[in-house]
């Protein structure tokens, strides 16, 4: 398993070892020993899936406010996405920074997103499915978001938005939110 730091403090791209043979492929995606050796969370309380039919669909940028901030481990299990997260942690050296990468189901890669970050994605193919592991339970009254196309974040979305929820269209700009204090 390869664990590479990303531009946001505490974020990592994780590439599991893929073993292929005539039957197909096998990978160990989560291992408490390996994660623990790298100081990563090993206690997951919830797993969610997101299914998206149309290329260009966007979701995000979502996060939970304290005391329900969460760590996420995200993997694209079908299709391909442009995955984005933004550091909202007050005092973090990467505060206000957006980080993006492509997650492709064929590559088996995952992204580990630390507490205090907003997360979103855009589908690059039709029929996309993502799986998320969460360190905290979803708590609707602590749910928040940031505007997907906030100029301050300088996110270069690869496609026109084709599908977006009304809720995601109305999130505030980054300069209107309270930084997260952990």
CA R_g for the chain: 16
**Close Cβ partners of 32 (under 8 Å, ≥ 6 residues apart):** 42
The tokens of 83 are what? 């995955």
Sheet holding 46-52, edge to edge: 2-5, 12-15, 110-113, 72-78, 128-134, 46-52
Rounded Cα gap, residues 123 and 8, in angstroms = 22
Q: What does each C-alpha distance from 62 to 53, 69, 146 come to in angstroms?
A: 20, 11, 7
Q: Considering 63, 112, 119, 132, which one is annotated as catalytic? A: 132
| Residue 62 bears catalytic tag | yes
The CB density around residue 170, as the number of other CB atoms within 10 Å, is: 9
Look at the block and give the residue holding tokens 């919830």: 46
Catalytic residue among 62, 119, 134, 171: 62
Residues annotated catalytic, as ranges: 62, 132
């Amino acid at each position: 398993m390869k664990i590479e730091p990303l531009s946001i403090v505490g974020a990592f791209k994780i590439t599991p070892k893929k073993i292929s043979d005539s039957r197909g492929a096998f990978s160990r995606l989560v291992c408490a020993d390996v994660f623990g050796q790298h100081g990563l969370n090993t206690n997951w309380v919830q797993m969610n899936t997101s299914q998206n039919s149309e290329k260009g669909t966007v979701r995000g940028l979502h996060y939970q406010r304290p005391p329900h901030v969460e760590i996420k481990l995200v993997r694209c299990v079908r299709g391909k996405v442009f995955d984005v997260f933004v550091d909202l942690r007050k005092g973090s050296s990467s505060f206000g920074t957006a980080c993006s990468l492509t997650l492709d189901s064929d590559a088996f890669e995952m992204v580990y997103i630390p507490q205090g970050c907003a997360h979103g994605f855009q589908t690059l193919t039709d029929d996309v499915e993502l799986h998320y592991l969460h360190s905290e339970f979803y708590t609707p009254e602590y749910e928040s978001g940031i505007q997907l196309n906030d100029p301050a974040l300088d996110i270069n979305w690869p496609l026109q938005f084709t599908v977006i929820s009304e809720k995601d269209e109305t999130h505030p700009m980054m300069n209107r939110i309270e930084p997260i204090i952990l």
